[in-house]
Amino acid sequence: MLETLEEFSERHLPPEIVRRLQVEELWARRLVLAELMNADRLKIYKQRRAEMWPATFPAVDVVWKEKQAKPVASIVPIKQSLMPTG
């Protein structure tokens, strides 16, 4: 039923609007396909990295030997204007 509605609606639209709809649909499909491909690539990358890292670098516990420095920034009050108002 949807196909007949789409065909009916596209027959009554100007060709430039039909073309724009087709371009939008193709662009949306491209984005979905790109997301799927990137997700698959990321999955493969994570698998390879998980296999490679333990053999390449031994596990090391990192402990800070010196204290972290205190933040330098502080709040400075805004001076009141010396210019007379009024």
Between 28 and 9, the higher pLDDT residue: 28
Report whether pLDDT(2) > 60.
Answer: no
Report whether pLDDT(18) > 70.
Answer: yes
Find, among 53, 33, 29, the residue nearest to 41 by Cα: 33
Report whether pLDDT(51) > 60.
Answer: yes
Model pTM greater than 0.75? no
Contacts of 10 (CB under 8 A, 6+ apart): 18, 21
| pLDDT averaged over every residue in the chain | 77
